[in-house]
Amino acid sequence: MKRPEAGAFAAFVITYLFFALATQGTGFISVNGTAGWLNLAAELGIVAIPVGLLMISGEFDLSIGSTVGASSMILALGTNQYGLPIWPMVFLALAAGATIGLANGLAVVKTKLPSFIVTLATNFIVIGATMGISRLVANVTSSSIVASDSAKFVFAARWGQANISILWWLLVAFIGYRILSRSIFGNWIYATGGNLDAARGAGVPVQQVKISLFIATGLAAALVGILQGVQWNSGNATYGMGFVFQAPIVVVIGGVLLTGGYGSVTGIVLGTALFGVISSGIFYTGWNTDWIQLFLGLLLAAAVLANNYVRRLALSSK
Amino acid sequence: MSQPLMELRDVDKFFGSTKALKHVSMQVEPGKILCLLGDNGAGKSTLIKVLSGYHQPTSGTVFFEGRPTRFATPREARQRGIATVHQDIGSIPLMSVGRNFFLGAEPAKGRWPFRSIDTRLANEVAVEQMQKFGLTRVTSGDQLVGTMSGGERQVLAIGRAMYFGAKMLILDEPTSALGVKEASMVLKMMRIARQNGAGIVFITHNARHAMSVGDTFVVLIQGEVAASFKRGEKSREEVLNLMAGGEDMSELEDDLEQID
């Protein structure tokens, strides 16, 4: 019970069983049904992992939403408007994501302002710039994407109902796990969020830790923009806006402390999976999908309370 | 007399027109505990910051291992073997003992991209060191530091500094927030560190704690060294009076007793 992901694991099992029973005979637990909720979770999961690591280090990133949109528009304008091949545009989109992350990181570290407000500003700046520039060069804010077969395979392959984004999610989760739980850098992430002064005192380059994680978040958001763009054959400045709050929500449901210093990648993955199960499960029950928000809100409230409790439990003597 | 580890000669530190330290001279010797006593606002914090390389003196000289030295940053001082253990910072409650112990100097195993912290080694060494310093209650390196008591955390921080080769320990009020038992655990740890040859600067306003471990004493009043003496040269009452700026503390104590 003392592990950060304990609450998310219990919530996931209970919710899954609930929907499995409530939707009997509708195929929710079938292979296709499973692929359905995994698809819903995958893209959110890709951004949620760096967002979670960043939260463990003590910072927020609310600019992910507009970065997703900007990345998809880079593909669209590049391939459609200028007729450029897609792969260089993919790298340009990733570079743009990394640059947005770097700007966030530098702004937060240098100004010492709360990242919540800094990245909220970035979110508006980026979406505004994306729309403005798109209008200027092509007079659109959404446009189709011309993808090569290789790009279509890498970013939009489908097996039955399952999208390749699920594999990307697994890959990002694996990398995130290796970094957070196993690497030396991971130790620094925990220390930076757990006690900034102590971490600095021990020689941890806390500023570099934060900036690196902001860059990772920007990269992940750009990757999701590419995945969505190629999958739906179009770019749109407003893609990804849903992630702005969904990502921190699933991270907290996954057991990461809002105040930093505590959490796990396993927890974040479970929190995201829970989101997928609820979003897809409600659809299978035939209820109005408006209920998803209510469920998420309740889960978030419960998670915040549970996290505090788990934290106290972890700090009590054995 | 052996060469002092660090010596301050006529050090001044001004902030604008505020004179935080005036003509401070003192010596930190290896294998000795120097108690830095003084009331709040006497300049103790400023002096710690000069010792640990956070501030540079306005005038006067700091000698480290016999040579005039000017530390550019606290990091440089740390690299030269000067470790500062603060009252409440220094440990990260939600991290394990092993991870805390090796923070910033983590042992690694494997090759990139699968290079990882050698958690087993870190835990083993951390627990071994903790046992050596008398923390027998800590048996697992996976235990979160937050489950340890305040005294145990101080011992962990001091043990950690010693393990990484600190020659000089600056302990900022390590016992002031602690109960009697906990404080004695930390004082015992300081004796162990002294035996290992570390030069220790023990900042405190608790004369009893100071008298129980100190070899030399420096009393600071309004940024000046009001008295500097060796163990046994002054009684506890005299020390208390000095710290209070010459007022008779025993009279005050008598007054207090009458209230009871």
A303: which strand partners? Answer: none
pLDDT tens column, B116-150: 999 999 999 999 988 888 888 888 899 888 888 88
What is the pLDDT, as a whole number, of residue B139? 87
Exposure class string for A260-280: b at 16+ Cβ within 10 A, else e: bbbbbbbbbbbbbbbbbbbbb
Mean pLDDT of B237-257: 69
Distance from CA of B7 to the nearest CA of A (A): 24
Distance from CA of B230 to the nearest CA of A (A): 32
Minimum Cα–Cα distance from A259: chain B residue: B94
Indicate yes or no: CB of A178 within 8 angstroms of CB of B91: no
CATH of domain A6-312: 1.10.3470
What is the average pLDDT value for chain B, to the nearest integer? Answer: 87
Q: Where are the domains of chain B?
A: 6-94+144-259
Indicate yes or no: CB of B94 within 8 angstroms of CB of A318: no
CA distance A93 to A91: 5
List all residues of chain B from 72 to 101 with a beta carbon under 8 Å from chain A.
Answer: 75, 78, 84, 86, 89-95, 99
Taking alpha carbons only, the member of B107, B88, B100 closest to residue B143 is B100
Indicate yes or no: CB of B92 within 8 angstroms of CB of A261: yes
List all residues of chain B from 132 to 151 with a beta carbon under 8 Å from chain A.
Answer: 143-144, 146-147
Q: Does domain B6-94+144-259 have CATH number 3.40.50.300?
A: yes
What is the pLDDT, as a whole number, of residue A76? 96
What is the pLDDT, as a whole number, of residue A296? 84
- Report yes or no: B106 at the A interface, CB cutoff 8 Å: yes
ipTM comes to 0.84
Is residue B7 over pLDDT 90?
yes
Indicate yes or no: CB of A311 within 8 angstroms of CB of B86: no
What is the pLDDT, as a whole number, of residue B241? 79
Higher pLDDT, B16 or A151: A151
CA distance B94 to B101: 13
Indicate yes or no: CB of B117 within 8 angstroms of CB of A317: no
Indicate yes or no: CB of A204 within 8 angstroms of CB of B103: yes
Q: Where are the domains of chain A?
A: 6-312
What is the pLDDT, as a whole number, of residue B260? 55
Query: Chain A contacts of B147, Cβ < 8 Å?
Result: 314-318
CA distance A94 to A78: 13
Asked if residues A244 and A47 have their Cβ atoms less than 8 Å apart, the reply is: no
Taking alpha carbons only, the member of A98, A59, A81 closest to residue A225 is A98
Indicate yes or no: CB of A318 within 8 angstroms of CB of B116: no
Query: Chain B contacts of A260, Cβ < 8 Å?
Result: none
pLDDT tens column, B170-194: 998 888 888 888 899 899 999 999 9
Asked if residues A90 and A31 have their Cβ atoms less than 8 Å apart, the reply is: no
Q: Helix, strand, or coil here: B153?
A: helix
Substitution target in B76, B86, B99, B103 with the highest count of A β-carbons within 10 Å is B103
pLDDT tens column, B196-236: 899 999 998 888 899 899 999 999 888 889 888 998 888 88
DSSP for A17-69, written as a single string? HHHHHHTTTTTTTSHHHHHHHHHHHHHHHHHHHHHHHHHHTT-----HHHHHH
Distance from CA of A45 to the nearest CA of B (A): 22
Distance from CA of A195 to the nearest CA of B (A): 6
Distance from CA of A58 to the nearest CA of B (A): 13
Strand order in the sheet with B6-15: B18-28, B6-15, B59-64, B67-69
What is the separation of C-alpha B175 from the centre of its chain, rounded to a whole number of angstroms? 10
What is the pLDDT, as a whole number, of residue A203? 83
Higher pLDDT, B75 or A165: A165
Residue carrying the six token digits 């305040």: B150
Q: Could you state, in chain order, the average pLDDT of each consecutive group of 10 residues for chain A (318 residues)?
A: 82 92 90 94 97 97 96 96 95 98 97 95 96 93 92 95 96 97 95 91 91 98 97 93 93 93 96 93 86 86 85 72
What is the separation of C-alpha A30 from the centre of its chain, rounded to a whole number of angstroms? 26
Single pTM value for the model? 0.89
What is the pLDDT, as a whole number, of residue A7? 86
Query: Chain B contacts of A204, Cβ < 8 Å?
Result: 103-104
